[in-house]
Amino acid sequence: MIPNCKHTAELLSQGQDRPLTPVEQLRLRLHLLLCDGCRNFSRQLEFMRRALRRYRDRD
Amino acid sequence: MSPETGPSVAQPAAIEGERAYLLRYARLQLRDPAQAEDAVQETLLAALEGAARFAGKSSLRTWLTGILKHKIIDHLRRAGREQPLTGDGDDRSEAEAVDALFAADGHWREFPAQWGNPDAALENSRFWTAFEECARRLPARTARVFMMREIMDMPTEEICKALDITATNCWVMLHRARLTLRECLELQWFGKSGQ
């Protein structure tokens, strides 16, 4: 079953904190194929992590 | 303290020179500026006392940051005991704020926008002002967990242990922090035309 946006957002976030199961990864991919909003969210999560690292490490 | 000052021994001036960096790092974890100052002070003292133990295998900054992390965790543990992480009212209003981002059928009420090339913002000092402001708006308990994860790079199991919360609770808080920070950045920066 393809998860909705709310659940997809949770999985994307948890993907930054724990390894997702193969089933979770598959469901995530199916949703992302269809959803621009969640694809944007996914990129934004990665960007925020980069920004936080940069904030921490910059001189 | 060892009297010899070989090249691998951390020099007091070099240690002191890292103060600003350490303070910024600490202030991301500890809301209370006085606590952040204390943690850095304790770190510098420990470093000066243990300067001979600095093996020069890592950079001075890495070594100092390692000491600081322990000092920060001590402070967070103490804060966790004095002001437990289960603030009910806070928790409910935060859950509501996050729920409000989605419709009843689980769709985004407003789709996350396309941010274009967000990394360009990293070179803009005004972006960092907005970023700090957004990070400061996170509720205290959520921010504590989020910064342990993102700034101190702690695995969730360690955060759970340090704060005595469940893994699920931890994931929920991290997710809320990210949704809230994202919302704020979009509003304060990426949603504005001409940025």
Which ipTM score applies to this complex? 0.96
Q: Does B156 touch chain A (CB under 8 A)?
A: yes
Print the domain residue range for A17.
Answer: 5-57
Residues B34 and B95 in one domain: no
In the listed set B82, B109, B135, which residue is the last one of a domain according to the structure? B82
Of B102, B122, B156, the CB nearest to A6: B102
User: CA separation (Å) from B81 to B21, B58, B74?
Assistant: 28, 34, 11
Residue keyed to tokens 């991290």: B174
Residue keyed to tokens 């910059």: A58
Digit-coded pLDDT (tens) for B26-40: 988 887 889 999 999
Print the domain residue range for B109.
Answer: 88-190
Q: How confident is the model at residue B53 (pLDDT cuts 50, 70, 90)?
A: confident
**Number of domains, chain A:** 1
Digit-coded pLDDT (tens) for B56-102: 778 899 899 999 988 988 888 787 666 665 555 667 788 888 889 99
Residues B78 and B93 in one domain: no
B100 assigned to some structural domain? yes
3-state SS assignment for residue B152: coil
Tell me which chain A residues have a C-beta less than 8 angstroms from the C-beta of B119.
Answer: 47, 50
Residues B152 and B184 in one domain: yes
Residues B113 and B137 in one domain: yes
Residues B126 and B34 in one domain: no
B4 assigned to some structural domain? no
pLDDT over 50 (residue B194): no
Amino acid residing at B28: L
Residues B94 and B18 in one domain: no
At B80 the pLDDT is 66
Amino acid residing at A14: Q
Give me the half-sphere count of Cα atoms (radius 13 Å) on the Cβ side of residue B96.
Answer: 6
CB contact under 8 A, B182 and A41: yes
Reading the block at residue A50, the tokens are: 């980069």
Angle between helix B167-185 and helix A36-57 axes, rounded to 10 deg: 90
Mean pLDDT (chain B, rounded): 86
CB contact under 8 A, A13 and B128: no
φ and ψ at residue B126, rounded to 5 degrees:
-70, -30
